[in-house]
A and B are shown apart, each in its own frame.
Chain A
């Protein structure tokens, strides 16, 4: 179907533009009906909410939502979890800020714990991405208000590159071996000319820089990468240096292979590949000499040959790029595993964290309250606005102006509005149903639309069923409705069918429905509260 199914709580389509992805509803943790998906991605960002207490509670709640999602997906499904970065809002007190940091830290530790316990779950450190972006650059408020984009959309390119690298690491596309030159690569100077005492290794600059580089490479070796040497030198000179220069960190015993002679380096590299029984494409060749590098690039295009820094003090950043490009590995170390259990015990807000066994539990925990009432004058602008902007959950996509709505309120129309609130706050007026009263017994649903913010929590079902119940109590017996397909509203194609309407006619422009209210039975919801105002 697509590469990614992305569970999200905010608009991230702009920044995820380069991914082949389908997106969940906001805060919607229903599993998609179609598939398969190569990856499920959990991309929840800290919401921009002015009340930090609510924000913290929401973040805790996300942990429970995630646990439910993971428990419902098969163990063969790869799930990627994005860690949460600190949001771009200032809290009013330092104490609130600390509580928020703690909440986010707990959230990220929870994610790590879940990744620990489930081999199909992998962590993606989104915090690393945001840390490399200047704070002010992370959000563009204009695009936040216009498009609800919490992350600055101009970061899309950078994000895409970074994300693809993360994916590569997760897919364990990792080079296996690094083949190193010696002179001016692992130490300063030329052994054959400067002698064992003259080469710069250890001590003052540049020896300390080369020593740092050698030590870093040794760490790389500990993580499973093979080290090898390919150098134009006399082998006896090099053996002598390895045995007698105490500052040289990488010695014979650390190498899986070496070719020290005056032959063509490309041939030597091939020999090493044969000895180690690895492919040329898993080899990284590091040499300070541009002509040697060029020769190997030409002769062995499968071998990765990065440029070497001009100055020894640039070796640490060079080493970082080696990790980034060739040797990054997705793995949780023992230390990480230890850390995460410690934090789990320290989680002070455990009492607020719930474990959902199923969707019903989850829905109940949200304390969703629906408020339904006939359209008031104050609601008219919002109703018109919704009709202009709502594209996805909109059965007929009729656009109204304020004066349209006003006229309808004064003639044979009944308009109900829906406001929704939950544990975390009020979403306001987010649903509208417009009935045209054709006669005393018959009404037609001219418009049924809901804001995408509230989808996925059965609200779309409850609202219409409640209003049908109200109409029935006014002696309406016969309801007509229509679905008009557009580019955006295909999710509503079978909505009326699911609500029990009979489809009378279907063609490429519309589906016509009819419902007899005489047999209409309505069971009030158990997981939501509904209030109908006079």
Chain B
């Protein structure tokens, strides 16, 4: 697991129990405000930019992790 990404999740969701299955579907606390906070933190930390279409899709740890890997690889 990406350490920095994990830290962001822990920060946004105020929880130390984040695993790779963490998603909007299985966590009711993942609302639209938290979603945006997550995206904002990731953009700021990794100096990348997500487009609006991407933002809507990034609703799980796994999806974010792969999108991140892809963007950083570019």
Write the residues of chain A forming the contact surface with B, with a CB cutoff of 8 angstroms. 13-14, 17, 142-143, 145-147, 149, 153-154, 391, 487-488
User: With an 8 A cutoff between CB atoms, is B16 at the interface?
Assistant: no
Residue of B nearest to A143 (CB): B36
Chain B 5-49 per-residue mask, 1 if CB under 8 angstroms from chain A, else 0: 000000000000000000000001001110011001000100000
B52, A153: Cβ atoms closer than 8 Å: no
- Measured between beta carbons, the chain A residues less than 8 angstroms from B44 are 154
Secondary structure of the B contact surface, majority rule: helix
- Bound form: Cα–Cα A145–B36 in Å: 13
Smallest beta-carbon distance A402→chain B, Å: 17
Which of A17, A142, A487 lies in contact with B31, CB distance below 8 A?
A487
B40, A146: Cβ atoms closer than 8 Å: no
Contacts A147-B32, A487-B28, A487-B31 given; does A14 touch B37 at CB 8 Å? yes
Residue of B nearest to A145 (CB): B52
A-B contacts, 15 listed (Cβ < 8 Å): A13-B33, A14-B40, A17-B37, A142-B51, A142-B52, A143-B40, A145-B52, A146-B52, A146-B55, A147-B32, A153-B36, A153-B40, A154-B40, A154-B44, A488-B31
A17, B33: Cβ atoms closer than 8 Å: yes
- Measured between beta carbons, the chain A residues less than 8 angstroms from B55 are 146
- Measured between beta carbons, the chain B residues less than 8 angstroms from A147 are 32, 36
Smallest beta-carbon distance A354→chain B, Å: 35
The total of interchain contacts (Cβ-Cβ below 8 angstroms) comes to 27
Smallest beta-carbon distance B34→chain A, Å: 10
Which of B28, B36, B52 lies in contact with A14, CB distance below 8 A?
B36
- Measured between beta carbons, the chain B residues less than 8 angstroms from A487 are 28, 31
- Measured between beta carbons, the chain A residues less than 8 angstroms from B40 are 14, 143, 153-154
Smallest beta-carbon distance B3→chain A, Å: 22
- Measured between beta carbons, the chain B residues less than 8 angstroms from A488 are 31
* Sample of 4 further A-B pairs with CB below 8 A, known A146-B36, A146-B55: A13-B33, A143-B36, A147-B36, A153-B36
Chain B interface size band reads 10 to 19
- Bound form: Cα–Cα A34–B44 in Å: 37
- Bound form: Cα–Cα A189–B32 in Å: 60
**Which of A14, A142, A146 lies at the interface centre, i.e. has the most chain B CB atoms within 10 A of its CB?**
A146
B31, A14: Cβ atoms closer than 8 Å: no
- Bound form: Cα–Cα A153–B34 in Å: 12
- Measured between beta carbons, the chain A residues less than 8 angstroms from B28 are 487
- Measured between beta carbons, the chain B residues less than 8 angstroms from A146 are 36, 52, 55
- Measured between beta carbons, the chain A residues less than 8 angstroms from B36 are 14, 143, 146-147, 149, 153
**Which of A145, A147, A391 lies at the interface centre, i.e. has the most chain B CB atoms within 10 A of its CB?**
A147
- Measured between beta carbons, the chain A residues less than 8 angstroms from B31 are 487-488
Residue of A nearest to B56 (CB): A146
- Bound form: Cα–Cα A235–B33 in Å: 63
- Bound form: Cα–Cα A145–B37 in Å: 16
Residue of B nearest to A486 (CB): B28
- Measured between beta carbons, the chain B residues less than 8 angstroms from A142 are 51-52
Residue of A nearest to B30 (CB): A487
Residue of B nearest to A389 (CB): B32
- Measured between beta carbons, the chain B residues less than 8 angstroms from A153 are 36-37, 40
**Which of B37, B40, B44, B52 lies at the interface centre, i.e. has the most chain A CB atoms within 10 A of its CB?**
B40
- Measured between beta carbons, the chain B residues less than 8 angstroms from A14 are 33, 36-37, 40
- Bound form: Cα–Cα A146–B44 in Å: 17
- Bound form: Cα–Cα A9–B32 in Å: 18
**Which of B36, B37, B52 lies at the interface centre, i.e. has the most chain A CB atoms within 10 A of its CB?**
B36
**Which of A143, A145, A149 lies at the interface centre, i.e. has the most chain B CB atoms within 10 A of its CB?**
A143
- Bound form: Cα–Cα A149–B32 in Å: 12
Smallest beta-carbon distance A509→chain B, Å: 15
- Measured between beta carbons, the chain A residues less than 8 angstroms from B51 are 142
Smallest beta-carbon distance A271→chain B, Å: 48
- Bound form: Cα–Cα A13–B28 in Å: 18
- Measured between beta carbons, the chain A residues less than 8 angstroms from B52 are 142, 145-146
Smallest beta-carbon distance B13→chain A, Å: 13
- Measured between beta carbons, the chain B residues less than 8 angstroms from A145 are 52
- Bound form: Cα–Cα A72–B32 in Å: 32
Smallest beta-carbon distance A310→chain B, Å: 32
Residue of B nearest to A13 (CB): B33
- Bound form: Cα–Cα A409–B19 in Å: 43
Smallest beta-carbon distance B47→chain A, Å: 12
Smallest beta-carbon distance A11→chain B, Å: 9
Smallest beta-carbon distance A172→chain B, Å: 32
Residue of A nearest to B43 (CB): A154
- Measured between beta carbons, the chain A residues less than 8 angstroms from B33 are 13-14, 17
Smallest beta-carbon distance B1→chain A, Å: 25
- Bound form: Cα–Cα A146–B28 in Å: 21
- Bound form: Cα–Cα A452–B33 in Å: 15
Residue of B nearest to A142 (CB): B52
- Bound form: Cα–Cα A146–B36 in Å: 9
Smallest beta-carbon distance A392→chain B, Å: 10
- Measured between beta carbons, the chain A residues less than 8 angstroms from B37 are 14, 17, 153
- Bound form: Cα–Cα A142–B55 in Å: 10
- Bound form: Cα–Cα A17–B37 in Å: 9
- Bound form: Cα–Cα A142–B52 in Å: 7
Q: Which 10 A-B pairs have the closest CB atoms?
A: A146-B52, A487-B28, A13-B33, A153-B40, A147-B36, A14-B36, A146-B55, A142-B52, A154-B40, A154-B44
- Bound form: Cα–Cα A488–B28 in Å: 10
- Bound form: Cα–Cα A299–B32 in Å: 50
- Bound form: Cα–Cα A142–B53 in Å: 11
- Bound form: Cα–Cα A488–B29 in Å: 11
- Bound form: Cα–Cα A391–B32 in Å: 10
